[in-house]
Amino acid sequence: MKSIIIASTSTLHGGNYLEYLLPVLETHFKNRKNVIFIPYARPGGISHDEYTKKAAEAFDSININLRGLHEFENPEEAIQNAEGFFTGGGNTFLLVTQLYKHKIMQALAEKVKSGTPYLGTSAGSNICGLSMQTTNDMPIIYPPSFQTLGLISFNLNPHYLDPDTNSQHMGETRETRIKEFHAFNSIPVLGLREGSWLEVKGEKITLKGNLKARLFKQNETPVELESESDLSNLK
Amino acid sequence: MKSIIIASTSTLHGGNYLEYLLPVLETHFKNRKNVIFIPYARPGGISHDEYTKKAAEAFDSININLRGLHEFENPEEAIQNAEGFFTGGGNTFLLVTQLYKHKIMQALAEKVKSGTPYLGTSAGSNICGLSMQTTNDMPIIYPPSFQTLGLISFNLNPHYLDPDTNSQHMGETRETRIKEFHAFNSIPVLGLREGSWLEVKGEKITLKGNLKARLFKQNETPVELESESDLSNLK
């Protein structure tokens, strides 16, 4: 039975890393002692070791041992043997490129679909959808494909931002960008605001957190979804 | 001798389409009666015909006849015979995909390098750089390559936005995104604010408009460049 947390962001303004999610994660990873951290989205600034250390400190507070996937000689084998996963944020183009390069996109998808608990934040959430095509990230590297894990039957837009009605900037709003996506793709897109997450339990998908989310479907007016909305049939 | 205008945006807040640029374009396209408009970046909303009509109305006011590239049976031939080009904004992933699909990326680059005047705004400016990897656009379609026209030896970030110091949003700022690009690429990136443009005359590249631009180089602190700065040696 699938067990997945798909969070808009790792960190809320003024909060510590993963702080707002820790009570949820304690239940989510219950009885799991060792979880694998996938640091590949990080495009520098800090190393994979440092990024893993930061995530491990948060997990340590709920008595879980986190180890970076980059520490394993055979990443595919590490995935097959894993008790749980956390994929952190960064750049989605880089994350997807690395998952293909290490030939683990499919292995990770299968392992999570078979019931191993997964947590994604930001870029780590983007890859839970059918494709990474509704990311906000800059194309700093050319991935072999935009296809991602397909753990759910729609796409995500993490860090969803409402249009700033006072702005004089002429660049596209997030809503306009998602509308552009729907000019060529029929996949629904869920705009997840910072502080929202999806809980996937088997085939049941529920919107969690205190905020509404914004759902975009091709050729339809976007709608606001209340917290606790059931998204199980969205596709 | 190259003759290129690379503008951050087509439209300033409160202004009409191309309005602020018209005096510049009158000189830029002097003695050119017919200019080809490349509408390919437009991801819907309006058709290529409608988009061309909008651009043609602006060009009509400076007595130039604009015709959409999509109207020609053989786009490569149309490019070979063109007296001038204007590539409008929209989605850069789409524009680049279309240029490769119609097999005109190279033909367009060669024609502009040989001296045919070119105007780009937004996505049409992005493609003037070495790659489209510093676009702000959403990856709504998978292009065969991120390589672009290479009319200048650096990359652009049009619609450059300064960080909003009051924001509580945890998504990456534009500056952070460009820094991520420089984790993997050594190409300099010029952040062009709305109202700025580059004038390329032969090998001379000059920053125009009233605003400063922000220059990002790998492993260096970004710097602000005054209007009229000479960028001829930037690479």
The CATH number for A29's domain is: 3.40.50.880
pLDDT of residue A206: 98
pLDDT of residue B168: 87
Give a yes or no: residue B64 inside a domain: yes
**Contact (CB, 8 A) for A212 and A224:** yes
Q: Among B60-74, B159-173, B221-235, which is the least confidently predicted range?
A: B159-173
Give a yes or no: residue A232 inside a domain: no
**Is B11 close to A44, i.e. CB distance below 8 A?**
no
pLDDT of residue B45: 84
Query: φ and ψ at B216, to 5 degrees?
Result: -115, 125
Give a yes or no: residue B181 inside a domain: yes
Give a yes or no: residue A233 inside a domain: no
pLDDT of residue B167: 86
Segment A48-57 long-range contacts (CB within 8 Å, at least 24 positions apart)? A51/A88, A54/A17, A55/A17, A55/A18, A55/A86, A55/A88, A57/A17
Residue A168 pLDDT > 90: no
pLDDT of residue B9: 96
Burial of A226 (0-12, 13-18, 19+ CB in 10 A): exposed
Minimum-distance CB partner of A169 among B90, B161, B184: B161
ipTM of model over 0.90: yes
**pLDDT band, residue A165 (cuts 50/70/90):** confident
Query: For the residues A80-103, what does the mean pLDDT come to?
Result: 98
**Taking chain A, what is the end-to-end CA distance rounded to the nearest angstrom?**
19
Give a yes or no: residue B231 inside a domain: no
Which pair of tokens denotes residue A127?
Answer: 């890859």
**Is B183 close to A137, i.e. CB distance below 8 A?**
no
Partner residues linked to B21 by β-bridges: none
Cα–Cα distance between A32 and B199 in angstroms, integer? 60
Give a yes or no: residue B105 inside a domain: yes
**Is B184 close to A141, i.e. CB distance below 8 A?**
yes
pLDDT of residue B169: 86
pLDDT digits (tens, 9 = 90+) for B137-155: 999 999 999 999 999 999 9
Query: For the residues A19-38, what does the mean pLDDT come to?
Result: 97
pLDDT of residue B63: 97
Give a yes or no: residue B230 inside a domain: no
| Higher pLDDT pick, B156 / A164 | B156
Cα–Cα distance between A68 and A185 in angstroms, integer? 35
pLDDT digits (tens, 9 = 90+) for A29-87: 999 999 999 999 999 889 999 999 999 999 999 999 999 999 999 999 999 999 999 99
Look at chain B and report how many structural domains it folds into: 1
Task: Tally A–B CB contacts below 8 A.
Answer: 115
Give a yes or no: residue A234 inside a domain: no
Domain extent at residue B127: 3-225
Torsion sign over Cα B86, B89, B90, B95: positive
Chain A interface disruption, residue of B42, B47, B180, most A CBs within 10 A: B180
**pLDDT band, residue B64 (cuts 50/70/90):** very high
